[in-house]
Structure 1
Amino acid sequence: MKTIFIKNKRIKAAVLSLVAATCMVAARLPQQSTLPPGDPDNGGLTTPDGFETVVVADSTGQARHIVVNENGDIYIKLRYYGKGERGGTVALRDTNKDGKADIIKNFGQYKDEGGLANGVTIHNGYLYFSSTLVVYRSKLIPGQLLPDEKVEVVLRDDHEHGDHWHITKPMAFDNKGNMYVPFGAPSDACQDMVNSPGGQPGSPGLNPCPDLEKHGGVWKFSADKLNQTQKDGSLFATGLRSIVGLRWNSDDESLYAVVHGRDNLHRLFPDLFSSWQSAVLPAEEFVKLKQGSNIGWPYYYYDQMKGKKMLNPEYGGDGKKEGEGSKYQNPLIGFPGHWAPNDLLFYKGDQFPERYKHGAFIAFHGSTNRAPYPQAGYFVAFVPFKNGAPAGPWEVFADGFAGVDPIINVSDAKFRPMGLAEGLDGSLYITDSRQGKLWRIMFKGNKKSFGPAQLAAMEKHKQLAHIRTPDEVKDNLDAETKLAGQRVYNTYCTPCHQRNGLGDGSRFPPLVNSEWVTNDKRRLIEVVTKGLEGPIEVLGKPYNDLMPKHDFIKPAEMAQLLTFVRQNFGHMPDRITEDDIKRVTKKQ
């Protein structure tokens, strides 16, 4: 090879600059030869032809949101635990580039604001991560996997409320130094949570809703100011009950969110809404937020089948009344109810076929409260995007997480997709909240020939029970239920504890072999009739949520219900009688 010497300094500088730029571009361009091989079983997932999936890690813990650094290091926020510590974060590194993480380290110990954590992201050289009440940050150190041990508090939620509030703290950052954080609300539709915890059948909503003063919206803060509380920020958008997935889209410099709709239409208003309506309504909303946006909660919900905002029953609605719903902002897309959209990602890379660029991936964590119909969601969708709006119908991009269909109980699902992240090479990463599995999806096919045939194969997944809208008669799982106690249980208890009594694996505890079921009958009756709030332990695991009181259930039905629970989940041969119920409730 001949060596060329360049004497002219200007030419030499130009050549060196060109070489450097070329190397930088080459480093950023996805090279299929540098991508690791996919797993033989595609990681257990179904994706469009041309994509391959590798499992990066099998069991990181109850994984929530995820971010990938420029050097490929991965950071995952855990919901509860990191090596026994409450509310940890886990860091992963693949040193030999085979696609599998060979270094996995937990870090982040903060004992004051534990469970139900979600958010993690990288901004201006810092790793931002959150618990339910606090947004923290730690400085990332070049070449080092773990961030600086110094942890700074960026934002603290200083309100008084229990863990049943939808107060998880995902974060999004714009390019002007602002951080956006949601403050969720506790109830279905602003019911009185003090005198009627959890809402009782027929309970009206408070009007005007006092929760909207400090909750039910997204607030804007400084991204770099420390020790902020809500009063240091400003209200950006309101009428948003619960947000877990929040993203800033640099394409149009706008904030987007996927919003969890309300629950319990049939349980709270059985004369107005059927169990089928309660299973599929209201919509999970994909929204574009701007300063002053009002999405309508708690007064209105979105009906994806009617394509309209409808008046909530707590404010006089009956499923037919629109009221003044047209005054509120409609979503970009209304997805079927209770799919639990828990993360949102706008794809910026070049690895995937061109049609995916600028589009939105949405991770549907899956429903818990569709009984007596099968649970739904549990997949990752894709929405084509153009000029700040959907450019076509939503698609099934990745499926197979649950491993079963239909999904009768949450515990039947093997995995539940949760967090989304994009690597510098354009790979898509997906976390699982059950066992902490982590997938990396890569495109290895021909981008020019990718199109209708590959998409048509995935379109068939929309006919599976966990995605399609259930048939009101044929898919009703209670059609053959004979036991009176089981019918009562399926109506009021399955949304949290599931048909098999195993709970949802995180928020709601199991009933099977639980000491709360098998021990003192009096305590079981009191819990159901009076409700329960605050930290408890069930089978050695901590829980901290709200068990609403069910004193509206008639003593005879309550006796049937608790007898079914004791016999079916606790293997207790004795019965709970109507007199047992009356003796306990008279003393309350």
Structure 2
Amino acid sequence: MHFYKLKRTGIRAYLGIGLLALALAGATHLPHDTLPAGDADQGGLTTPDDFETLVVADSTGLARHIVVNDNGDIYIKLRYFGKGQGGGTVALRDTNGDGRADVMRNFGNYQDHSSLANGITIHNGYLYYSSSLAVYRSKLIPGQLLPDEKTELILKDDHEHGPHWHITKPMAFDDAGNMYVPFGAPSDACQDMVNSPGGKPGNRGVDPCPELEKHGGIWKFSADKPNQTQADGSLYATGLRSIVGMRWNPADKSLYAVVHGRDNLHRLFPGLFTSWQSAVLPAEEFVKVTQGTNSGWPYYYYDQMKGRKMLNPEYGGDGKKEGEGAKYQKPLIGFPGHWAPNDVLFYQGSQFPERYKNGAFIAFHGSTNRAPYPQAGYFVGFVPFKNGVPSGEWEVFADGFAGVDPIINVSDAKFRPMGLAEGPDGSLYITDSKVGKVWRIMFKGDRKAFGTKQLASMEQHKLLAHIRTPDEVADNLDTQTKELGQRIYNTYCTPCHQRNGMGDGSRFPPLGGSEWVTGDKKRLIEVVANGLEGPIQVAGKPYNDLMPRHDFLKAEELAQVLTYIRRSFGNDAGPVSAGDVRQVLGK
């Protein structure tokens, strides 16, 4: 009896050591019985048949990008440095093999407290992570969850920036010692959204665009040199407005990025673009980036329905003129407007069926500014690749993050997919930016038998309201809206403050219960008409973004929309008259 117990204990110990050695070796494929079981509800997600999903962690903080080490340890970059989250980066470890993180440690209290922290990756034994204004690295210590306490500054963005700049710093590394970092631009098309002349409809962009000197592109740096600034790097590609997701593809040794398109086509040019066109255009671009790539921003945008680069209205375009768009690089795929592709990952493992090998997973964070149509995106897609180019149509790989359909307000979405990572066993990890949920997706079926049958159910997801192209009439949420103030609000205010007046939960403040709305009329009129930039407090919470000027609205229109917001979203304040507006603004 004692011998049997000893023998059984010895076998368990031997197996434990073997599995640990396998994990530390970074194996790319494990048998199904060594993978943890998926959750009974699959973590609330829908995936192709024979995949299983489990929730690794429920609330890490406002999670952005993610990376998984060879031993299975997980590192996640949080949106903020500190601010109640105990450090800007979180480390997770599963100590009992059930697939769920039972150790969670925050680290990284840095001098740079800028928001929109984003990138994180492992390169040559270092954990690299970024804020809006810097790229850092810390040495990983074998067997230890947290990296070395010493933080090394690799790159510093030494420009002056406003809060509305697209200045997240994802990074990618090639195999020749280079690091690639984007420097995003602040505007839709090289115009000032706060000060005249760029804040009014119909005004032209600056030509040539001075922003392109230091923004709207990707720069190449040394991966190991400390204390670099942009002057230490070289311009690698240009004409790229805003990049949050970027990845080096080892299969063809090339750089790829997903690019956010411009906004405000209808708001700034209501005579040229309908609200429907503004909701679905321009495309979010999936691009292959090589030395000298020029994607045409700010002069051109990509229309995924026409399949062509079109002249931006700030430079004389009207939605029909191509100008010299043909000379600029077209994307591999143009996804519908405002889906917010925030990460891209080329699958290298062998756990998933062969069709996924070297293909691209893309996390769509979801739109905020498709009004008066439902918000869209909020899923993880997949693009099959062969010989360095897409080999088929894009697919819906994982859906169900939002928990509702249609998605009227961004705050309605329960979760928003953000970051992607591949584990040492070939599992796919996905982060959520709202509460910091982390999912792990595993394949449990027959790799060789996987095909059309297992994919069929996901094809139907393309018909859902948050993915399909909306019908211009049937899907217009304003069809029954008769109040003028509400219609003006839905056109100009919902992109930031949302249809329910609750904001987007992070960048843009709520209007419901806001002292800025229900308080002094004069201040409210001045803010909406003249814009506002810089840090403010709303209902005790800090915000720091851009409120564009709306002085193009007539006094009567401004009065109508201000009265609407003062009497909506739980507010109960007095009306604003056209006379009040004229008295404050002299118009």
Compute the TM-score of the two structures, normalised by the length of structure 2: 0.94
Q: Which moved more, 1:480-489 or 1:534-543?
A: 534-543
Distance 1:197 1:503 in 2: 27
CA distance in structure 2 between the aligned counterparts of 1:189 and 1:243, rounded to whole angstroms: 15
- 1:349 alignment counterpart: 349
Q: Which residue of 1 aligns with 2:17?
A: none
Amino acid at match of 1:95: T
Structure 1 position 199, deviation (Å) = 2.8
Aligned to 2:519: 519
After superposition, the C-alpha distances for 1:185-238 in whole angstroms (9 at most, x for unaligned) are 000000135733873211100000000000000000000000000000000000
2:557: which partner in 1?
A: 557
1:314-342 per-residue CA deviation (whole Å, 9 max, x = no partner) reads 00000000000000000000000000000
Q: Is the 8 A contact 1:64 1:117 kept in 2?
A: yes
Write the distance in 2 (CA, Å) between the matches of 1:196 and 1:87: 40
Matches within 5 A, 1:72-471: 72-80=72-80, 82=82, 84=84, 88-193=88-193, 195-196=195-196, 199-471=199-471
User: Do the aligned partners of 1:511 and 1:570 also contact (CA within 8 Å) in 2?
Assistant: no
Distance 2:482 2:55 in 1: 44
- How far residue 571 of structure 1 moved from its aligned partner, in angstroms, is 2.1
Q: Which residue is equivalent to 1:472?
A: 472
Deviation for aligned residue 1:24: 9.1
Q: For residue 567 of structure 2, give the secondary structure of its aligned residue in structure 1.
A: helix
User: Structure 2 counterpart of 1:456, which letter?
Assistant: A
| 3-state SS of paired residue (2:442) | strand
Decide whether aligned partners of structure 1 residues 569 and 111 sit closer, same or farther in structure 2, where only a CA change above 3 A counts: farther
Q: CA deviation at 1:113?
A: 3.8
Q: 1:10 maps to which residue? A: none
Kept in 1, the 8 Å contact 2:284–2:341? The answer is yes
Q: What amino acid is the match of 2:466?
A: H
Alignment size in residue pairs:
567
Find the aligned partners of 2:369 and 2:507 in 1 and give their Cα distance.
Answer: 13
Higher mean C-alpha displacement, 77-86 vs 438-447? 77-86
Cα pair distance change 1:342/1:67, threshold 3 Å: same
Q: Does residue 63 in structure 1 map to residue 35 in structure 2?
A: no
- Aligned-partner SS, 2:266: helix
Once residues 122 and 327 of structure 2 are traced to their aligned partners in structure 1, the CA distance between those partners, rounded to angstroms, is 37
Cα deviation per residue 1:156-211 (whole Å; 9 max; x = unaligned)?
A: 00011112100100000000000000000000000135733873211100000000
Letter in 1 for 2:211: D
Question: Could you tell me whether the CA contact under 8 Å between 1:283 and 1:304 is conserved in 2?
Answer: yes
Q: Contact 2:378 / 2:466 at 8 angstroms: preserved in 1?
A: yes
Question: Residue 62 of structure 1 contacts residue 81 of structure 1 at CA under 8 Å; is this kept in 2?
Answer: no
Judged with a 3 Å threshold, the aligned counterparts in structure 2 of structure 1 residues 170 and 22 are, in CA distance, closer, same or farther, namely closer
- Pick closer, same or farther for the CA change 1:560–1:139 going to 2, 3 Å: same
User: How far 1:556 sits from its partner (Å)?
Assistant: 0.4
Q: 1:215 to 1:23 in 2, by over 3 A?
A: closer
Which one-letter code corresponds to 2:524 in the other structure? L
1:564 is matched by which residue type in structure 2?
Answer: Y
Q: Distance in 2 between matches of 1:227 and 1:422?
A: 30
Question: What letter is aligned with 2:505?
Answer: G
Q: Tell me the CA shift for residue 26 of structure 1.
A: 9.5
Mapped contact 1:198–1:547 kept (Cα < 8 A): no
Cα distance in 2 for partners of 1:575, 1:193 equals 28
| Alignment partners' CA distance in 2, 1:111 and 1:196 | 35
Deviations 1:480-506 (A, max 9, x none): 001110000001000000000111111
Give the distance between the partners of 1:441 and 1:579, measured in 2 at CA.
59
After TM superposition, give the deviation of residue 457 of structure 1 in Å.
1.0
In 1, Cα distance between the equivalents of 2:24 and 2:189? Answer: 52
Question: Contact 1:61/1:81 (CA < 8 Å) preserved in 2?
Answer: no
TM-score of the superposed pair, with normalisation by structure 1: 0.94
- Secondary structure, in 3 states, of the residue corresponding to 1:298? coil
CA shift for structure 1 position 85: 5.2
Asked if the contact 1:182–1:217 (Cα under 8 Å) also holds between the matched residues in 2, the reply is yes
Query: Aligned-pair distance for 1:292?
Result: 0.2
How many angstroms apart in 1 are the aligned matches of 2:22 and 2:259? 42
How many angstroms apart in 2 are the aligned matches of 1:173 and 1:571?
Answer: 50
Farther-moved stretch of structure 1 (143-152 vs 405-414): 143-152
Alpha-carbon distance in 1 for matches of 2:444, 2:120: 29
**2:112, 2:131 within 8 Å by CA — same for their partners in 1?**
no
Q: Give the aligned partner of residue 17 of structure 1.
A: none
Q: What is the alpha-carbon distance in structure 2 between the residues aligned to residue 26 and residue 144 of structure 1? A: 16
Q: Residue 23 of structure 2 contacts residue 72 of structure 2 at CA under 8 Å; is this kept in 1?
A: no
Contact 2:24 2:71 in 1 (8 A): no
The alignment yields a C-alpha RMSD, in angstroms, of: 1.6
Moved more, 30-39 or 296-305: 30-39
- What is the CA deviation profile of residues 440-489 of structure 1, one whole-angstrom value per residue up to 9, with x for unaligned ones? 00001111211001111100100000000000000000000011100000
Give the secondary-structure state (helix, strand or coil) at the position aligned to 2:568. Answer: helix
Given the superposition, is the C-alpha separation of residues 281 and 208 from structure 1 closer, same or farther in structure 2, using an over 3 Å criterion? same
Tell me which residue corresponds to 2:535: 535
**Is 2:190–2:211's contact at 8 Å kept on the other side of the alignment?**
yes
Aligned mates of 2:188, 2:72 — CA distance in 1: 40
SS at the partner of 1:569? coil
**Which deviations, in whole Å up to 9, do the C-alpha atoms of 1:533-561 show, x marking residues without a partner?**
01112222221111011111111010000
- Whether the 8 Å contact between 1:86 and 1:115 is mirrored in structure 2 is no
Cα gap change, 1:375/1:350 in structure 2, threshold over 3 Å: closer, same or farther?
Answer: same
CA distance in 2, matches of 1:58, 1:568: 34
Q: In the aligned structure 2, how far is the partner of 1:516 from the partner of 1:401?
A: 33
Closer, same or farther: CA 207–320 of 1 in aligned 2, 3 Å: same
- Structure 2 CA distance, aligned partners of 1:419 and 1:197? 37
Conserved in 2, the CA contact under 8 Å of 1:172 and 1:180?
yes
Distance 1:224 1:404 in 2: 45
Unpaired segments of 5 or more residues in structure 1?
1-20
Q: In 2, distance between residues paired with 1:289 and 1:109? A: 34
